Amino acid sequence: MLMRRTAGNLFLSLVIGAVVGNVIGDVLRILLPSGPIKRLFLDYARLGFSPFTLDFSFVKFTFGFFFQINLMGVIFIFLMIYIFYRL
C-alpha cells in the first residue's frame, strides 16, 4: 500500500531522513581518515536558541531548542522528499 501524501507523513519522512542521515554521517566520521572530507562530515549546522528560564516564584519554566544537522542529514532529507513524492 502506498503512503498517503499528508503534511504529517511529509514531516515524519523529513525527520526520519534527518535522523538516518546524521547517524550515517557520524559513522562515516569515525571511519574516514583525517582531512577535509572528514571535516565536511564533522561540521554540524546548529540552529536554535539557548535555554532560558522564566521564574514566576510559584512555577519555573525552562525553554531551549537546538537542531543539529550534518551533510549526510541534508542529503537524506532530500532523498526522503524525492521518495515521498515518487511514491
Q: Roughly how many angstroms between the first and final C-alpha of the chain, as a whole number? A: 10
Q: What is the pLDDT of residues 40-58, one digit of tens each?
A: 777 888 889 899 999 998 8
pLDDT, position 79: 92
Please tell me the pTM assigned to this model: 0.72
Distance CA 51, CA 77 (A): 27
